[in-house]
Structure 1
């Protein structure tokens, strides 16, 4: 047999075997294969609702069907316990790791932790205790903390000391459970007047707290606006970063819609052997099913860095 004929015949036979194997397990010939991502990107509810419908459980199943291996839900603390349990069961069955939820009421317009006010600190700590129970219920490891607004009547040194003390007390609550609060610096354009704005400041606070339960949430969208220089700043604060969130700028939509070279950023994160979650905390740049598919396609594109 000539070499060319042999190769062609072997290829056809191999293809037939592969197809036969697929059909033997009941796969449809037009069924898309689940994508295998290099990092744990975490969608949120509503991101794929035109494909999956309004039901949170159906949305979780759709995420898993697309190959996503994580999920985040800022509003999980406020959901009914029965729904939390149902979502947790679905995530466990579908191999979705739970990402962050917001651990407390955030003070956007007035100081709380920065003020040193005893009642506001007590309120914050009570929310942390409540969030421990939520985390147990939904198998979460991380929860988001935003220290709130600055106190214009105090110097920054006093404010920092007040925030650090509150976080030390919160860490004492979280440490026995192996839970981590991640501090999120937010940019001054979307959220003017907040105490925590940049990664160096978050790094300083985490070092002062000195607890494995107090780390940084590095939101790439916010820090592109606030400080830029993304990869060097992530490198400088890497030992305190426990969680990452995503959004392109301008627009806060999916990667490839703005100026950030997410392919390079994700390549750097992967090179650090990061095993945590990257929350997809952004909107969709287009509407309806086409917009949802564009999000999926964008992540496949920027995840192609190996």
Structure 2
């Protein structure tokens, strides 16, 4: 028994078929605005296609591997911020996985209490049968690390020092592996760092391939996978080197290691490119290790922005993707009622595949 309430969404076979019909009807209303489509899904749920949540046992399991980032997606208004409570809550919702279960800070060593908490998270995930997705660890945004072989010294100065960079990368990987082993994950998020505006772009690219290959070799030897995350420069991360998934996939292709792929962050791609057409690029598609989800431009739950998430989820499912879909978004309203609404929206997405 869990010491926090869990949702049970009871769906009769007749009601389920009715819901599927409604979803298909709205799916083909191509002239409907994408946000109206999401609202229609939520309205259908609230109107009775999905029974009101009850308590006491686990809900029907999802098919898609939606993986809430603990403390960042939804659930906090209902379950609080403690990762153990959140995992129990998400298990009760019928979700299959979680991600971002603890922070990794390379500026200081973990305390004994932090290490113990990581162990507890891993044990609880195994107890609940929840898979653990990626952890953000080495996605430098401000220093041209892999691009120009530069490091930040203790005094704050940034200098070119390739041996020091390699030692830093190796040390950060070792720290990350320890956390991943404790929580039960195999995937880390990595990035090449900032753009060096004084260095030729092609030289920076070559440096990135060399440094990423160095990291991938260590990951492969230890049995881990690193995924390169492209970030948008339009709003969130001005000055980063890897700005779209086409470039991330090119890097992964040139690294040419089974331990290196890409994290396709739908929010960042949409903010940078204004569309998600790169999903149709075979080189991008075959490089994808996992996805991140947030609507644009607000980086909140699907339905709060411009992205056609019903279409996106149907597309990636039909293309055969069955991996982690990390929920890395905020909430437009932080209430337990909004938690329930977001859960219903994900249920509706799951019902269409």
* CA distance in 2: counterparts of 1:29 and 1:90, whole angstroms: 23
Residue 255 of structure 1 pairs with residue 288 of structure 2: no
Residue 69 of structure 1 pairs with residue 96 of structure 2: yes
Q: Secondary structure at the match of 1:303?
A: helix
Higher relative contact order structure (alpha carbons within 8 Å, sequence separation ≥ 6) = 2
Question: Cα deviation per residue 1:168-217 (whole Å; 9 max; x = unaligned)?
Answer: 11111110232111000001121111000111111111111010111000
Q: 2:63 aligns with which of 38, 61, 67?
A: 38
Contact 2:102 2:118 in 1 (8 A): no
How much does 1:45 deviate? 2.1
Q: Which has the higher strand share?
A: 2
How much does 1:38 deviate? 2.2
- Structure 2 counterparts to residues 1-306 of structure 1, below 5 A: 31=56, 34-46=59-71, 47-73=74-100, 75-78=102-105, 80-104=114-138, 106-117=139-150, 118=162, 119-189=164-234, 190-236=236-282, 237-306=284-353
Contact 1:248 1:259 in 2 (8 A): yes
Q: Secondary structure at the match of 1:205?
A: helix
How much does 1:39 deviate? 0.8
Contact 2:245 2:278 in 1 (8 A): no
Contact 2:62 2:94 in 1 (8 A): yes
Structure 1's unaligned 5+ residue stretches are 1-27
Cα distance change, pair 110–122 in 1 and its aligned pair in 2 (3 A) = same
Q: Which moved more, 1:35-44 or 1:232-241?
A: 232-241
Structure 2's unaligned 5+ residue stretches are 1-52, 151-161
Q: Secondary structure at the match of 1:181?
A: strand
How many residue pairs get matched? 278
Q: Secondary structure at the match of 2:135?
A: coil
Q: Which residue of 1 aligns with 2:47?
A: none
Question: Cα deviation per residue 1:143-190 (whole Å; 9 max; x = unaligned)?
Answer: 100211101111111101111111111111110232111000001121
Question: Cα deviation per residue 1:47-100 (whole Å; 9 max; x = unaligned)?
Answer: 312211332211110010001111111744346110111010111111111111
In angstroms, what is the RMSD of aligned CA positions? 2.0
Q: Secondary structure at the match of 1:103?
A: strand
How much does 1:230 deviate? 1.5
* CA distance in 2: counterparts of 1:75 and 1:107, whole angstroms: 18
* CA distance in 1: counterparts of 2:54 and 2:93, whole angstroms: 17
Contact 1:64 1:96 in 2 (8 A): yes
Q: Secondary structure at the match of 1:102?
A: strand
Cα distance change, pair 62–74 in 1 and its aligned pair in 2 (3 A) = closer
* CA distance in 2: counterparts of 1:176 and 1:35, whole angstroms: 38
How much does 1:299 deviate? 1.0
* CA distance in 2: counterparts of 1:29 and 1:150, whole angstroms: 51
* CA distance in 1: counterparts of 2:127 and 2:277, whole angstroms: 35
How much does 1:136 deviate? 1.6
In terms of Rg, which structure is larger?
A: 1
Cα distance change, pair 176–110 in 1 and its aligned pair in 2 (3 A) = closer
